Structures are given as C-alpha cells and as structure tokens.
Structure 1
Amino acid sequence: MPLAESAFDYEARLAACARGERSALRDLYVQEGPRLLGVAKRLVRDTALAEDVVHEAFIKIWNGAAGFDPARGSARGWMFSVTRHLALNLLRDHGRETPFDEAHEVAADDDDFDAHAHSARIHRCLEQLEPQRRHCILHAYVDGYSHAQIAARLDTPLGTVKAWIKRSLNALRECMG
C-alpha cells in the first residue's frame, strides 16, 4: 500500500537503487506504479502498451538511479519524466497519433494543477508564469497532451502554444537555477 507522499523518501529509495538494493525498486513500484501507469495510459491510450512503458520506465529508473541529481528536481518528478518520455518516444517511434478525445477532458482549475505540481520549488516557479503559459506547461508535462491538443483546448494557434512552451521552459530552467 502506498505511503503518503510526505512520508515516502523518494531520494533515499533512488540512492538505494543506485547501490543495487532491489527492495528499494520494489518500494518505488508500490508507491508510484499505479500513478505512472495512469500517465502512460493517458498518453498511449492502450493498457498493454502502457504496462510495457511502465516496465521499461522502472528498468530505466533502476539503471539510471545513480545519475539522478536532486539539485535538478524532485526524485518523484524525475520518475514521472522518465515514464512520460518513454511513452512519447513509443508514440513517435510507432507513428501513432494520440486522438484528442473531449470525453476524456476534465475541466481543470488551478487547484487541480497545484495537486500535480508536487515540488514546492517547481510550484513556486510555475506560479511566476502567466496563467495561460502555466496551463500549457502543465497540459504538456503533467497531462501528456501534444502541442496540437493544447492549442485546441485553449483555442490558441499552434505556433503560439509552441512559443509559450519554449519560453516557459526557459523561464522555469532559470527559476530552478
């Protein structure tokens, strides 16, 4: 059963993985496996493929644990990033388009986004962005939407969304310093 986020030490578990402690990987899987599967499912829209993505993500987490740098972000965020990138690579490699399905849309307000912005540091930096730009970043990196999906959701030109995301990522990098 997963522990409350505040009671679970992700960094310590990653450090233990780097030392070869398999129980730490199991702990990470129990803690975050279901949520990572949810992220992968939203992106690839197929349960079997999502399970493959999560399996591959935990292999990457195990093999890459020694390279995790807490100065660059949270351990939990890093795990989500690994999973998201693998899912997006799978979509790109297989030439699959993720359909924009309004039935899966949930009206999200700032409180919903705050729940996903789990790191106090990234939260502070996200708050410094203009609301539309913050929403673009969160739709892309938390919800897993493509640029085209974000443009459709926000009724904004695709080029504008791409520019907002690029500039916002640069601002976040500076803020996270």
Structure 2
Amino acid sequence: MVDSTFDYHAALSACAQGDPQALQDLYTQEAPRMLALANIMLGDQTVAQNAVHDAFVLVWKNAGSYDARTGSARAWIYSIMRYRSLSLLRRNPAPSSAAPATPGAPPLREDAAAGVAAMLARQPENTRKPVLMAFYNGLSYPDIAARLGCSTAELRNRVRSCLRALRECEPA
C-alpha cells in the first residue's frame, strides 16, 4: 500500500542535492509497484528489474530537472520508468500475439486504481485491448490497427469510446 504521508517532492529535492538516503526512501516506497507495472509492460521479470533499476538511476541523475508545475513528483518518477520500459520494448518487441494484461497495481492512488481497473474490465475487449496496447506497449494507432485487423479510423473510434467511459467513472 502507498504511504500517503510520503513526500515525493521533498525526496526528489533531496536527490537533486545528492542525498543517497532520499533515493533509498523513494526506492523503498515505489520499487515494488514500479516493478509490477514494468513486468506487465515488458512481460519479463529480469527485463522489468533492469527497467526499474535504470529508471531509478535516471531519477537520481535528473532529479534537479523535476518541475512541480508539470505534475506530481510521483507521476514524474513513473513517467521515467514508463519511457524506459517503452524504449526497451522498441528495441526488443514482444511477439505480436502477446496481449497486454489489465494492471493489478497501476501507479495511481489505490482507490482510483481499483476504479479504473474495474471500469476497464467492464469494457468490451475490442475497446479495452487497443487502449492497453497503446499505454503498456507504446504502440501507435497504425501498429495497433494492423495487429487487430481493423482500420485506423475504426481503432480511433474504439479508443475514444473506451476513454469516454473511463472519464465518466472519474471521481469528482
């Protein structure tokens, strides 16, 4: 479970100042969830571990570039891990038959994650699958359309439908 009292911004600021304990604290706080997400995205435990390790190295090196005006510190950390994972996927793509799984512990508040996962589970597979393929596998609309055997226009409609349904379940 996420420690709601953990100050991600302060930890990143301390990392920017060269405090190794701050990085250790970030790692202890987020590594298990980041590893779960990377494992879903990459489909290989060893590659996922390497992605998380690389992400924390990048967090350490780039902590000074974090700008709170662009979003939360936690989201910034996850974006680094996500981009690192997508980079690994582009270099070593998974077989096209590999279908993305609905995440069990996405990098959201636990209650929000449960709501999003439940809403995704209720979506028809033909609208859910392209959203997951885009997010977890970093595929473009043409790539997804080719893999699913539909037109790009039809795919855009499917994604739009799924995202609209997710927006409707968004907490106020």
Contact map agreement 2:52 2:81 (CA 8 A) in 1: yes
- CA deviation vs aligned residue, 1:9-28 (integer Å, no higher than 9, x gap): 00100000000000000000
Aligned equivalent of 2:78: 80
Aligned equivalent of 1:14: 12
AA at the equivalent of 1:50: A
- Aligned-pair CA distance for 1:95: 3.8
Contact map agreement 2:130 2:155 (CA 8 A) in 1: no
CA–CA distance in structure 1, aligned partners of residues 114 and 90 of structure 2: 25
CA–CA distance in structure 2, aligned partners of residues 137 and 76 of structure 1: 26
| RMSD (Å) for aligned C-alpha atoms | 3.8
Cα separation, partners in 2 of 1:23 and 1:38, compared to 1, 3 Å: same
Cα separation, partners in 2 of 1:50 and 1:70, compared to 1, 3 Å: same
Where in structure 2 are there 5+ consecutive unaligned residues? Answer: 104-109, 116-122, 164-172
Where in structure 1 are there 5+ consecutive unaligned residues? Answer: 107-111, 118-130, 169-177
Percent identical: 31
- CA deviation vs aligned residue, 1:89-143 (integer Å, no higher than 9, x gap): 11101244464437x447xxxxx893279xxxxxxxxxxxxx9xxx7997444xx
CA–CA distance in structure 2, aligned partners of residues 162 and 17 of structure 1: 41
- Aligned-pair CA distance for 1:158: 3.9
CA–CA distance in structure 1, aligned partners of residues 98 and 152 of structure 2: 14
TM-score by length of 1: 0.63
Contact map agreement 1:25 1:62 (CA 8 A) in 2: yes
Is 1:63 the equivalent of 2:65?
A: no
Aligned equivalent of 1:37: 35
AA at the equivalent of 2:69: A
- Aligned-pair CA distance for 1:156: 7.3
TM-score by length of 2: 0.64
Contact map agreement 1:36 1:54 (CA 8 A) in 2: yes
How many aligned positions are there?
A: 139
CA–CA distance in structure 1, aligned partners of residues 86 and 92 of structure 2: 10
CA–CA distance in structure 2, aligned partners of residues 28 and 137 of structure 1: 32
AA at the equivalent of 1:58: F
Contact map agreement 1:36 1:80 (CA 8 A) in 2: yes
Cα separation, partners in 2 of 1:116 and 1:156, compared to 1, 3 Å: farther
AA at the equivalent of 2:12: L
Aligned equivalent of 2:24: 26
Is 1:48 the equivalent of 2:42?
A: no
Cα separation, partners in 2 of 1:94 and 1:3, compared to 1, 3 Å: closer
